[in-house]
Structure 1
C-alpha cells in the first residue's frame, strides 16, 4: 500500500479496519501520540484500541491517533501508517510491529525526525536495533514464559509420548518466535512428541486450512499448541469439521472474548492473558515519559496469566 492509497483509506476509515482518528485542535499544546497496532480484525487489537482510547480520555493530557492495518501480515500498511504519522509531526509513536525487522527502518526515520518511540507487544529484533544503533524501550510480556504455561497444561493432559503440533505465528514477529520457543520448552519438559509445526500467520482461516492439512498428513495428532487465540478458533473449527470434537486437545495464547466459550466447554484447555488494553495504556504512559524528557531503554516487563476453563470469565 503506497502513501496515497493509505491516506485515501484513512478517509474511508472503517472500510479497512482503520480506527477513527482523534484530530487535535490547532494551537493545542497537548502531545500527540500515534498508536500503531496490527489487524483490528483480531479481537486482541480491538481490545487494545478500546483500552488505549479510554486511557487517553482518562488522562486528558494527550491526543491519541490509533491506527490498525488490514491483516496481521500487512507490513506495507504499517509502514505507510508510520510514514503518515511522521508527516503529521506527532510527538510519539507507540507501535506493535507486524514484523520485528521490516518496521525498524521507518521507525528509525521517525526517531531522526524527533519523534519518541515506544515498542509494545512485539519486540523489535535486537540485532536489527544494533545495526541501526538504536535502543528502543520494549513494553511487553515474556511470550516464551507465557507459552510455556499454556504448553505445560497440554503436556499434563496428554502425558509423556503425546503427539502434538504447533500452529506458529508470523515467523517475522519476535513474539511468534518466542511463543514457539515456549511451546517447545513445554514439549521437552513434558516428554511430548512434536510431529509438525507450521505457521498460520496469526489468522483464523489460514490456521483452519493449515491444521486441516496437518490432520490429513497426521491422523494421530493428539494435541495442538496455537500461538494465538485467533488461530485456535480455526483449529477448533477444523477439529469439529473432521468429526473429532474432544479427541484433540488445544491450548493457545491471548484470552480474547471469543475463546471464552471454548474454554468453558473444554474445546480449548488453556490460554494466556497478556492484558492487551493495559499494555497499550502502559505504552502511552511511557511515551509521555519520553516526551517529558526521560530516556527509556530495555525491557519493561508486563504480566501474563494462565487462563483455563475454571478461571475463564
Structure 2
C-alpha cells in the first residue's frame, strides 16, 4: 500500500513537471522494439518514421531496438536511458513480458506515459502493481486460430500436428500457441509435439527437424512467426517431405512472400505492424496534448489481423 501511495504521489509531482516543460518544446517520444533484424519490426519502425514525418512539428522521435530478441539486459539499458533523458512517452515491445516491468513502473513514477505494443506485458504483474499500461495490438490468439483453422482444413481428421513456438517468456508466443492448440482441438487433430524456435530462422529449422524426426507421419507444422516457418520449410525440404507437411506462419513479413506464393508456407497472418505503431503514436500524442494521465489511458487498442494465403493463379 505504501508503495502504491508513493507511486501516486510521484505521478502527480512528475506530471506537473511534464506539462510545464511540454509548453516550451516538442514532446519527446522513444520507441523500443525487440529486434532490428526481424523484418516485422523494421516495418513497424518504418511506420513510426512515416507517422513522425506527418507530425514532425509535434514531437521528437527516437527509435531503438535489439540485435537479438532475447537480449533483455540490452533492452533494460535502453529503457533506463529514456528515463534518464526524462522523455515524455515510451512505447515498448518487450523482449520479456515480466523482466522490463520495474523499468516501466519507474518511468510512470517519473511522469512518462508508457504504452505497450506487440508483445503484451504480464497482466498478473499489472494487476499486482495496480497500474494501467495500454496495449496496442491484435489478438494473437485469434490470428493464430485463423492460420491454424485454414491449414488444418486441408488435412484428414486425426492428422498429427506440431507447434514451433517463439521465446518461452513472451506472452504473444504463448497466445499464438494457444490459438494453434484450439485449432487442433476443434479440427479433431493430434498435437504430436512442440518445440521452441526463439523467433529465429535457424532455431526454427532445428526445431522443425526435431519434430520431423520424432514424428515420421507429421502432417503440419504451425509456427509462431514467419522466420521460424521459413526455417521449417528448409527442414521439410531436407527430409523430403515437401507437399506432405503443411506449414503455417505468422507476421506476413516480406521474406515470406515467395514461400507463400509457392505454397511452401500454406498460410500466415498479417497483423499490420506499421499500423500498430501508428495507433500507438496517435494514442500517445493525443494523451500528451490533452494532458491525459497514465491511469486514464484507454487500456486496450485493438488492431486488425488477417489471414494471408496463396493467391490463386
TM-score, length basis structure 2: 0.88
Q: Secondary structure at the match of 1:157?
A: coil
> Are positions 1:243 and 2:240 aligned together?
yes
Match of residue 67, structure 1, among 61, 64, 67: 64
Alignment partner of 1:158: what SS? coil
1:174 corresponding residue in structure 2? 171
Q: Distance in 1 between matches of 2:138 and 2:255?
A: 21
Q: Which residue of 1 aligns with 2:261?
A: 264
Counterpart contact for 1:159–1:190, Cα < 8 Å: no
For the pair shown, the structure with the greater C-alpha radius of gyration is 2
SS at 1:250 equivalent: strand
Structure 2, unaligned runs of 5 or more:
1-22
- Confirm whether residue 52 of structure 1 aligns to residue 48 of structure 2: yes
Structure 1 SS opposite 2:218: coil
1:28 positional shift: 6.8
User: Are the equivalent residues in 1 in contact too, given 2:194–2:211 (CA < 8 A)?
Assistant: no
User: 1:134 and 1:159 mapped to 2: Cα distance?
Assistant: 47
Provide the rounded CA distance (Å) in 2 between the counterparts of 1:78 and 1:311.
42
Tell me by how many angstroms 1:78 deviates.
Answer: 1.0
| 1:301 aligns to 2:302 (yes or no) | yes
Q: Secondary structure at the match of 1:71?
A: coil
- Paired position in structure 1 for 2:122: 125
Contact 1:93–1:118, Cα closer than 8 Å, also in 2: yes
> Which deviates more from structure 2 when the two are superposed, residues 273-282 or residues 238-247?
238-247
Equivalences for residues 86-97 of structure 1 within 5 A: 86-97=83-94
- Higher mean Cα deviation, 275-284 or 303-312? 303-312
**TM-score, normalised with respect to structure 1:** 0.88
Unpaired segments ≥5 residues, structure 1: 1-26
- The number of residues matched between the two structures is 286
Contact map agreement 2:148 2:179 (CA 8 A) in 1 = yes
1:21-41 Cα distance to aligned partner (Å, 9 max, x none): xxxxxx971101000101111
- The answer to whether the 8 Å contact 1:155/1:187 transfers is yes
Distance, in Å, in 1 between the alignment partners of 2:124 and 2:285 is 27
Q: In the aligned structure 2, how far is the partner of 1:96 from the partner of 1:263?
A: 27
Q: 1:42 aligns with which of 34, 38, 42?
A: 38
Task: Write out the 4+ residue segments of structure 1 that deviate beyond 6 Å after TM superposition.
Answer: none
Q: State the 1:216 CA deviation.
A: 1.7
In 2, the alpha carbon distance for the partners of 1:311 and 1:171 equals: 36
* Secondary structure, counterpart of 1:72 in structure 2: coil
